[in-house]
Amino acid sequence: MRLLLIRHGESEGDVKKIHEGRADLPLTEKGIEQAKKAAEFIKNNYNVNAVYSSTLDRAKKTGEYIAKECGLELIEDNLLMEFNNGHLAGLSYDDAAEKYPEISNLPVYESVYGQESLMEFRQRADVILARIMFENKHDDTVVIVSHSAMINQLFRSFMMLNVDSDVVLYTGETGIHEWLVTDQKKYIVMTNYQQHLGKFK
């Protein structure tokens, strides 16, 4: 099975420098163009069998462009939503830092400020990744459109890393990660591919 994990395009939250998380903000015009370019790249380079996305608008719209290009219906799933950041959602970075200061060394099973715990977040990733792999055939290509933090939890689940691992998978706007699962091994084929945007880093 080939898995293509894709972050949504630029959103209004990215531009306004606010905590998005569960704040349901739309794509910018630039983000729409990024999504269209990603969709075209995927259509031209892969034979996609299914497209899943988070139900948050910025990911859903990105997924809709990809699904349309591939001639498929988008499959939406709440489990692919971004980290539930509770009271921080929609606040500017400065306001959030003042009202809800970061708490270090918080156990993975505890949460603050109306957020989900890291353990709950990882459990969502484990469940949706297992479900997607079960629902599709071993030779299928499946697209998953989500968010930066959720993509990191999916990566940790895929690689069986700890929930609080310090390994971070950087994902830019419509960055594409390609994973391959065979009977014997798991392969990381590429990470944060953005050449469809003219970026080569």
Q: Taken in order 7, 11, 15, 20, is the CA torsion positive or negative?
A: negative
Could you give the C-alpha distances from 154 to 5, 12, 180, in angstroms and in order? Answer: 9, 24, 14
* 14 to 185, 187, 199: CA distances (angstroms): 36, 31, 18
Region of 114 please: left (phi>0), alpha (psi -120 to 50) or beta: left
Q: Alpha-carbon distance 186 to 201, whole Å?
A: 24
Single out the catalytic residue among 8, 19, 177, 196. Answer: 8
Tokens of 199: 């970026």
d(CA 131, CA 127): 6
* Token pair in block for residue 187: 């392969």
Q: Which of the residues 82, 147, 177, 178 is marked catalytic? A: 82
Check if 8 is active-site. yes
- Assign 3-state DSSP to the chain and report helix, strand, coil percentages, each to 5: 40, 20, 40
82 annotated active-site:
yes
CB-based contacts of 129, cutoff 8 Å, min separation 6: 154, 157, 158
| Catalytic machinery residues | 8, 82
